[in-house]
Amino acid sequence: MNHSVAEETPSVGKYDLITELAKGFVQENGSTVVGIGDDAAVLSPSSEYVVTSSKVFLENVHFDLTYVPLQYLGYKAVTVVCSDILAMNAIPTQLSVNVAISNRFDLKAVQDLLDGVATGCENLHVDITGLDITTSRRDLIVSVSATGECEPAHLVRRQGAAENELICVSGDFAAAYAGLLLLEREKKVFDENPGVQPDFAGQDYLLQRQLRPEARLDIIEALRREDIIPTAMTNVSDGMAAALMQICRASNTGAVIFEERIPMTELTFNTLRHFSIVHTVAALNGGDDYELMFTIKQADFERIKNVANVSIVGYIKEKAYGCQLMTNDNHQIEIKAQGFSKMQNHA
């Protein structure tokens, strides 16, 4: 039974629908003055700087509902936009979401999507202060805007890295890309034979990284505890190569990273090998990691060891050096940003 939202709610208007859907949202951020239900949201930030970011996610461009559950989609949208706030060394505090749906979707679908958004926000202690539902012709469109806060002394930009500083990354890489390869393979199998059940045994971590990635609030909090303020930082959303080049370009520097230092789980490594993909290429150019890349002063070397899930992968060089990868067999390869789409052609 598939009812469109309009059919499900013949007697209530759009405003009632939004009020109803918003009921499950918890508000726990003291800086929220006015949330959903007025012309705009009102915040009373306790820090001097306010940080904003927004993203639009389009069906069949950014996500494929044949294998992306709506709850995970909502969760991931929160992760993506909040990762950009965190990458300024700021704390995300409020988020608003606009959903455009067609009559392909029922009310339950919207609720599932918003459940994912709400869970993502709860995990990051972010209030949902805006919600709008509108009509699309066919595809699902999710637009998310986040606000965060930081003190001027904490703000970290892409620019600011200097020669000899250490290049750090959180988490591990290419797992989300390996997860995508698995999902795409099973989709193809399913398209050819709809009776076959997907076989993802033992691959949970890779699927989780692709479908329901986490924003690294934990890393930002740990850096504060250790009193480390990175000199430059960016969100790794399109592979390590693009992130490194953004930091180097903004900071007017070069850099070297070491292949052996790139953090990757054995599961990711083996899965990529199964697909005949060079694991380092996947780490450099795969997407959807939502890890942080940042640079720190050498003086912070001892203290960074106290921050769990951070690896030092290289260091900043002078601009003329360019961005180089030192391979395991001691070859130097110039790093070029390719991004995700190119990746698949090269694989």
Contacts with a copy of itself by CB under 8 A lie at 13-15, 33-34, 37-45, 48-56, 58, 60-62, 84-85, 87-88, 90, 94, 96, 98, 100, 129-130, 132, 134-137, 139, 141, 143, 145, 147-148, 152, 155, 157-158, 233-235, 246, 250, 337, 339
Interatomic CA distance for residues 174 and 151, integer angstroms: 33
Minimum CB–partner distance for residue 29 and a copy of itself (Å)? 13
Tokens 């190119």 belong to: 342
Q: How far is CA 25 from CA 82, 95, 114, 126, 162, in A?
A: 17, 11, 9, 10, 43
Of 116, 105, 132, whose CA–CA distance to 39 is shortest?
A: 132
Q: Are 241 and 336 in contact (CB under 8 A)?
A: yes
**Smallest distance, Å, CB 109 to a copy of itself?**
18
C-alpha–C-alpha distance, residues 118 and 124, integer Å: 10
> Minimum distance from CB of 250 to a copy of itself (Å)?
7
Spell out the residues 6+ positions from residue 237 whose beta carbon is closer than 8 angstroms to its own.
80, 83, 243, 287, 288, 289, 290
Cβ closest to a copy of itself, residue 2 vs residue 60: 60
The residue (of 14 and 185) whose beta carbon lies closer to a copy of itself is 14
Q: How far apart are CA 175 and CA 210, in angstroms?
A: 7
Neighbours of 172 (CB within 10 A): 20
Q: Which is nearer to a copy of itself, 43 or 264 (CB)?
A: 43
**Closer residue to a copy of itself, CB minimum distance, 126 or 272:** 126
CB of 212 to a copy of itself, least distance (A): 21
Of 99, 29, 87, 25, the C-alpha closest to 53 is 87
For residue 199, the minimal CB distance to a copy of itself (Å) is: 30
CB 99 to a copy of itself: min, Å:
9
Q: Which is nearer to a copy of itself, 53 or 210 (CB)?
A: 53
- Nearest residue (CB) to a copy of itself, 33 versus 196: 33
Q: 211 - beta bridge partners?
A: none
